[in-house]
Amino acid sequence: MLEAICKELELRKDKLSEPIETIYFGGGTPSLLTPKQIDLVLQTVYDNFHIIDSPEITLEANPDDLTEAKIDSLANTKINRLSIGIQSFFEEDLTLMNRAHNQAEALQCIVKAKQYFENISIDLMYGIPQMTPHRWQENIEKALSLEVPHISCYVLTVEPKTALERFIKNGVIQPADDVVAAEHHAVLVEKTTAAGYHNYEFSNFCIPGWESQSNSSYWMRKPYLGVGPSAHSYDVVSRSWNVSNNTRYIQSIEVGVLPLTKEILTIENQYNEYVMTRLRTAGGVSIAEIGSLFGPKFKRYFKQNMQQHVALDLLICEGDFVKATKKGKFLTDGIAADLFMI
């Protein structure tokens, strides 16, 4: 697999014209890689692309993988940012989500990681079935007490063919609803704001200056290259994705054929994605930028259709920028859908 990933990088070395600012090891469990394997991939990137002097290089990791020896070894690579999938600091939540780590590992790995890495992000889940408001508040307070510079928080999605889906279908546990999730998000914003964190995107909170450069590039419509099975790539006018089957991926790369499917994005697709991503950010949507990027028809359409949400105090205009209000923040995906050009 690593040989195929490195060969794909070589095959696609001309696909990015701008210098690379971020490198992200994500999807699956990249923390299983050894330092030697990480170095192999990174060296291939450096050999085939133009990299800025100090790129953000992130590795996603599970707490049960992050022993002190593992963290020490990662610190000796070019990795300079860890994104740790904590999900919850409570045993009952971790068991429900079928996570491999326990409560103690969730806490200990962050304490250890801080001795070696300054740039750390943790993931938390809310809207978990049977999670009380008090327990969610304790989760946030625990995360803030650890003084990590970045926190990402997501609503739990019940995936098909999982144990959680079976429990809900069989009535073993009650599913969480949108009202509870909205209450959890409101508490999250309140607590993080009071602690000095900036909610720079709906799901992302950081001490100012510690924004994820990788995530931010997606919201700013920057091209990116995804390498490996299932990986997605984007160049503003098209999106492509690799086959999700490992064996087929390796076999295709071995004969020098990129195993990808490509979709050309219409101007309507591009506008819809711009609205969807930007409305989730603290900066909001620029009406002028819609006009310059997509033309006057889209600018008029957006201005006309946003009025109903302004009237309901879900959106607010601040000069050229349209942003979600406190009331509308949890509803941004639905609001964006109303503003799409079909």
- The CATH number of residue 215's host domain is 3.30.750.200
Mean predicted lDDT score pLDDT of the chain: 92
Q: Is the domain of 210 the same as that of 300? A: no
In a domain, 234, yes or no: no
Judge whether 238 lies within some domain. Answer: no
Q: What is the pLDDT of residues 222-234, one digit of tens each?
A: 999 999 999 999 9
pLDDT at 92: 85
The answer to whether residue 176 is domain-embedded is: yes
Q: What mean pLDDT comes out for the span 32-61?
A: 96
Phi, psi for residue 278 in degrees, rounded to 5 = -70, -35
> Are 328 and 192 found together in one domain?
no
Confidence of residue 91 (pLDDT cuts 50, 70, 90): confident
pLDDT of residue 153: 96
Euclidean distance between CA atoms 85 and 30, whole angstroms: 12
> Residue 176: pLDDT band by 50, 70, 90 thresholds?
low
In the β-sheet with 238-242, what is the strand arrangement from edge to edge?
Answer: 232-234, 238-242, 260-264
172 shares its domain with 79: yes
Q: Are 202 and 271 found together in one domain? A: no
Domain end (from 153, 188, 219): 219
Q: How many residues does the chain have?
A: 342
Cα 64 to Cα 77: distance, rounded to the nearest angstrom? 20
Cα–Cα distances (Å) from 93 to 29, 84, 167, 174, 286, in that order, read 20, 16, 14, 14, 40
The predicted pLDDT at position 342 comes to 87
Q: What is the pLDDT of residues 249-273, one digit of tens each?
A: 999 999 999 999 999 999 999 999 9
Instruction: Write down the pLDDT at residue 139.
Output: 95
Buried b (16+ CB within 10 A) or exposed e, 214-232: bbbbebeebebbbbbbebe
Same domain, 171 and 310: no
Find the mean pLDDT for residues 179-194. 92
Mean pLDDT of all residues in 146-169: 78
Shared domain for 189 and 277, answered yes or no, is no
**Average pLDDT over every residue of 56-82:** 95
| Same domain? 214 vs 119 | yes
Does residue 312 register a pLDDT over 60?
Answer: yes
Q: Which domain holds residue 32?
A: 19-219
Find the CATH number of the domain harbouring 290. 1.10.10.920
pLDDT-based confidence at residue 44 (cuts at 50, 70, 90)? very high
| pLDDT (mean) for 34-58 | 97
- Whether residue 213 is found in the same domain as residue 283: no
pLDDT at 335 over 80: yes
Residue 162 located in a structural domain: yes
Segment 71-87, tens digit of pLDDT: 999 999 999 999 999 99
Structural domain includes residue 12: no
Which residues, at least 6 apart from 244, have a Cβ–Cβ distance to it below 8 Å? Answer: 229, 230
Give me the pLDDT at residue 173, please. Answer: 59
More confident residue, 17 or 312: 312
Answer with the one of 184, 202, 219 that is the final residue of a domain. 219
Q: How confident is the model at residue 98 (pLDDT cuts 50, 70, 90)?
A: confident
- Which residue has tokens 């971020």? 22
